[in-house]
Structure 1
Amino acid sequence: MRPSARSAARSAVRFALPALLAGTAALTGAPGAAADPAPGCVTHSSGWRYTFVTNGCADPQRVTVAYLDGTAVPCRTAAPGGTVTFPGYGTQGNRVLSVDLCPAGD
């Protein structure tokens, strides 16, 4: 591939990839696709086997985790000072995109 064509291809990927990933999340119904992010007092720590979400807020928080591949996980309630567990990123390199609040009634 010629240098100018290679540069054009890189630019196309750099600009198209974020839109493609966002579109994929919306199409798969991934948790967090249209959800509100959890407040800053909710933190997470991810490993290959587990993702731990800790609630440092004064009130209980009902949360879920959004993954790169769109894996759907159920909502869990974390008490103040409590930690809830979700799947980790696994051996395939899936990663946590965000911790999101669950809609009322979920």
Structure 2
Amino acid sequence: MRSTFIALAVALCATTADTAASAAPQAAPDPTAAPDCVHLTVDWRYTFASNDCSSTYTLRVVYLDGTEVSCRTAAPGALITFPGRGTQGNDVLGAVLCDSEGGV
């Protein structure tokens, strides 16, 4: 009886460990932050991204609550607009570069 209990306990521990390992979230690749020459001005209604760089960049804004916005292309000297932080305190965390297919 005791050996059956030990065998069941070991099997349960092994199953629990495998389930926990497979349930752990996979780390997503870190998005590349926009260069320092891209500047954000954040207000409650709009977030403005100005490209003061000498190169064109495709970027998007990252929000605290994970709101997804489309990538937009900014030529040198361009000012592009994204949604602002809103009235519920959804902070803008920064701008990230998008890959060539519009994702990060």
Could you tell me the TM-score, scaled by structure 2's length?
A: 0.69
Q: 1:105 Cα deviation (Å)?
A: 1.7
Aligned residue-pair number: 77
Whether 2:59 is the aligned partner of 1:63: answer yes
- Provide structure 1 residue ranges, at least 5 long, that are not aligned to the other structure: 1-25
Out of 83, 88, 104, which is 1:87 matched to? 83
What residue is the counterpart of 1:18 in the other structure?
none
After TM superposition, which residue ranges in structure 1, 4 or more long, deviate above 2 angstroms? none
Q: Percent identity?
A: 49
* 1:1-106 matched pairs, under 5 angstroms: 34-106=30-102
Question: 1-side partners of 2:60 and 2:92: how far apart?
Answer: 11
Q: 1:96 Cα deviation (Å)?
A: 0.6
Q: 1:57 Cα deviation (Å)?
A: 0.5
The structure with the largest alpha-carbon Rg is 2
What is the CA RMSD across the aligned residues, in angstroms?
1.9
Could you tell me the TM-score, scaled by structure 1's length?
A: 0.68
